């Protein structure tokens, strides 16, 4: 009779029987080659159900390492979550229990596939798993258990307090039973209080009666207030409290409770900084040049009237010996004769811009006038920012030549270089060409 050999594992419930290699005949019948018996120690019996299932895989792969290492084999298991946690095609889940992460790392040296197979299809070898051997184990705490205990000891409540309150809490007691016994019916319960735990059920474990989510202790409701008060010792603030809490503990809505704890602290509120300013709504970018212009005076630097086109960032600067409304209107008429009338003119609340004479001129020419909000100069920020650049350039070049020559040199350079906002030069966007400079 011909047959073919496959390497595989069959995982059973009580960690008793193993088929590391089996023959599959042409008839489809599987013939076992070897079995590896083992019973759980007292500490292992307290593992979560998903951990006990994982331990079976790790034990058997170690047992038959000399047959499996360097060869591709298949693991068949009935708990479906293990196909994700130990699946070689997936990374090791960051929130998995530390013990499971260590086992996943240990298995990663092998070339294997892991597949889900329903428990009723394991009957050909599952019988031996119900006949455990009477074996005496030397009890010792592993590194993961010592780590968990160290985490609990750092909390402001003892492990016994957490264990007692966990078992007296109906929700947490139900979750502990689910973790230890692998109960699946609980996932069908429609309960808002259970849902945060159900979504993490493959990352939960139980250590000495304390429910753990990965490396964090799940604190029962009655101990929340005591833990929050301890976390707030020294008034560290919301961010630091969350950082400390996320290293050691968890419960549903922990972040919101920490924020509320700080907000309810009178001392913290008294020294709280003023809230930041609301973000400013930016001006809409005009679709064509000279649609909206911003006007301002660059005083006290020898009196300059500054105008900036917001589409192209093209600047116009006029040196003025007088800053009266009448003189300013003359300058604006001259510029309007070159470029036409804008649709919108934005200015601050200087006396020239709020005068009735200036308002009549704009109204007669159908130009909408927008004043910046009092004490909020950023409304006219387009002109204000150019005024800063103008002042810096003129002060830096002071003494090298006359004011008019320095101003003309600055404007030629400014108009012909790319603007950081538009990434194009003002001359190209305003005139449609680059200015010839040499």
Task: Name the more confident of 23 and 390.
Answer: 390
User: What pLDDT was estimated at residue 187?
Assistant: 47
User: What pLDDT was estimated at residue 198?
Assistant: 80
Q: Which of 130, 157, 186 is the last residue of a domain?
A: 130
User: What pLDDT was estimated at residue 15?
Assistant: 40
Total domains in the chain come to 3
Q: Which of 235, 268, 301 is the last residue of a domain?
A: 268
User: What pLDDT was estimated at residue 9?
Assistant: 43
**CATH number, residue 258:** 1.10.340.70
Say whether both 379 and 340 belong to one domain: yes
pLDDT for 143 beyond 70: no
Query: Which strands form 204-207's sheet, in the order they lie side by side?
Result: 204-207, 210-213, 216-218, 249-250
C-alpha 60/C-alpha 10 separation (Å) is 10
User: What pLDDT was estimated at residue 91?
Assistant: 61
Range of the structural domain that residue 414 is part of: 292-431
Say whether both 155 and 249 belong to one domain: yes
C-alpha 351/C-alpha 311 separation (Å) is 27
pLDDT in tens, 317-371: 888 888 888 888 898 899 999 999 999 999 888 888 889 999 999 999 999 998 8
User: What pLDDT was estimated at residue 2?
Assistant: 35
Tokens of residue 71, six digits: 């060869």
The mean per-residue pLDDT over the stretch 421-425 comes to: 88
Choice among 190-194, 199-203, 358-362 with the minimum mean pLDDT: 190-194
**Residues 6 or more apart in contact with residue 413 via CB below 8 angstroms:** none
Say whether both 126 and 156 belong to one domain: no
Say whether both 182 and 254 belong to one domain: yes
User: What pLDDT was estimated at residue 278?
Assistant: 64
Whether 274 maps to a domain, the answer reads no
- DSSP 3-state assignment of 210? strand
Say whether both 126 and 170 belong to one domain: no
Say whether both 298 and 399 belong to one domain: yes
Name the band, by pLDDT with cuts 50, 70 and 90, for residue 93: low
The mean per-residue pLDDT over the stretch 212-241 comes to: 87
Say whether both 126 and 162 belong to one domain: no
**What's the chain's average pLDDT?**
78
Tokens of residue 99, six digits: 């013990």
**CATH number, residue 409:** 3.30.420.10
Say whether both 19 and 65 belong to one domain: yes
Say whether both 301 and 371 belong to one domain: yes
Label each residue of 132-169 as H, E or C: CCCCCCCCCCCHHHHHHHHHHHCCCCCHHHHHHHHHHC
Whether 138 maps to a domain, the answer reads no
Whether 279 maps to a domain, the answer reads no
Per cent of the chain over pLDDT 70 is 77
The CB-side HSE value for 82 (13 A sphere, CA atoms) comes to: 25
User: What pLDDT was estimated at residue 257?
Assistant: 93
pLDDT in tens, 265-312: 888 888 777 766 666 667 788 889 999 999 888 765 556 888 899 999
Whether 74 maps to a domain, the answer reads yes
Say whether both 53 and 176 belong to one domain: no
Say whether both 117 and 22 belong to one domain: yes
The mean per-residue pLDDT over the stretch 159-188 comes to: 77
pLDDT for 78 beyond 80: no
Whether 287 maps to a domain, the answer reads no
The mean per-residue pLDDT over the stretch 146-157 comes to: 59
Task: Name the more confident of 387 and 7.
Answer: 387
**Residues 6 or more apart in contact with residue 295 via CB below 8 angstroms:** 305, 306, 307, 332, 345, 346, 347, 353, 383
User: What pLDDT was estimated at residue 50?
Assistant: 77
Whether 35 maps to a domain, the answer reads yes
Q: Which of 98, 130, 162 is the last residue of a domain?
A: 130
Whether 370 maps to a domain, the answer reads yes
Number of other CB atoms surrounding residue 163 within 10 Å = 19
Say whether both 316 and 250 belong to one domain: no
User: What pLDDT was estimated at residue 314?
Assistant: 92
Whether 31 maps to a domain, the answer reads yes
Q: Which range has the top average pLDDT, 58-62, 152-156, 251-255, 270-274?
A: 251-255
pLDDT in tens, 1-43: 333 333 444 433 344 334 445 666 777 777 777 777 677 777 7
Per cent of the chain over pLDDT 90 is 15
User: What pLDDT was estimated at residue 244?
Assistant: 85
Task: Name the more confident of 72 and 138.
Answer: 72
The mean per-residue pLDDT over the stretch 182-198 comes to: 63
pLDDT for 188 beyond 50: no
Task: Name the more confident of 128 and 99.
Answer: 99
Name the band, by pLDDT with cuts 50, 70 and 90, for residue 401: confident
């Amino acid at each position: 009779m011909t047959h073919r050999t496959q390497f595989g594992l069959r995982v059973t419930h009580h960690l008793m029987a193993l088929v590391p290699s089996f023959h599959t005949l042409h008839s489809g019948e599987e013939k076992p080659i070897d079995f590896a018996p083992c019973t759980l120690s007292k500490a292992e019996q307290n593992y979560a159900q998903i951990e006990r299932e994982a331990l079976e895989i790790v034990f058997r792969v170690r047992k038959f390492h000399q047959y499996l290492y360097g060869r591709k084999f298949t693991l068949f298991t009935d708990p479906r979550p293990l196909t994700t946690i130990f699946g070689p095609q997936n990374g090791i889940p960051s929130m998995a229990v530390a013990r499971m992460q260590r086992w996943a790392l240990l298995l990663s040296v092998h070339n294997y596939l892991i597949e889900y197979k329903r428990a009723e299809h394991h009957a050909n070898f599952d019988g031996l798993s119900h006949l455990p051997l009477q074996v005496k184990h030397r009890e010792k705490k592993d590194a993961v258990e010592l780590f968990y205990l160290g985490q609990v000891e750092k909390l402001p409540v003892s492990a016994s307090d957490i264990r007692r309150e966990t078992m007296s809490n109906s929700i947490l007691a139900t979750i502990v039973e689910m973790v230890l016994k692998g109960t699946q019916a609980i996932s069908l319960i429609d309960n808002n209080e259970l849902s945060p735990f159900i979504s993490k059920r493959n990352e939960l474990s139980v250590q000495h009666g304390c429910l753990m989510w990965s490396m964090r202790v799940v604190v029962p409701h009655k101990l929340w207030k005591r833990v929050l008060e301890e976390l707030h010792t020294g008034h560290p603030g919301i961010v630091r409290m969350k950082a400390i809490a996320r290293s050691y503990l968890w419960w549903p809505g922990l972040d919101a409770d920490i924020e509320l704890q700080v907000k309810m602290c009178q001392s913290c509120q008294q020294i709280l900084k003023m809230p930041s300013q609301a973000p400013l709504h930016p001006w809409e970018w005009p679709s064509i040049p000279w649609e909206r212009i911003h006007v301002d005076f660059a005083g006290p630097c020898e009196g300059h009237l500054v105008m900036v086109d917001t589409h192209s960032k093209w600047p116009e600067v006029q040196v003025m010996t007088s800053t009266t409304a009448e003189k300013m209107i003359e300058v604006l008429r001259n510029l309007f004769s070159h470029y036409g009338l804008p649709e919108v003119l934005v200015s601050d609340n200087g006396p020239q811009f709020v005068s009735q004479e200036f308002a009549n001129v704009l109204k007669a020419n159908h130009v909408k006038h927008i004043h910046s909000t009092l004490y909020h100069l950023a409304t006219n920020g387009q002109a204000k920012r150019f005024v800063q650049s103008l002042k810096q350039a003129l002060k830096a070049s002071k003494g090298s030549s006359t004011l008019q020559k320095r101003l003309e040199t600055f404007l030629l350079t400014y108009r012909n270089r790319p603007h950081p906002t538009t990434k194009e030069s003002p001359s190209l966007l305003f005139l449609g060409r680059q200015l010839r400079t040499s």
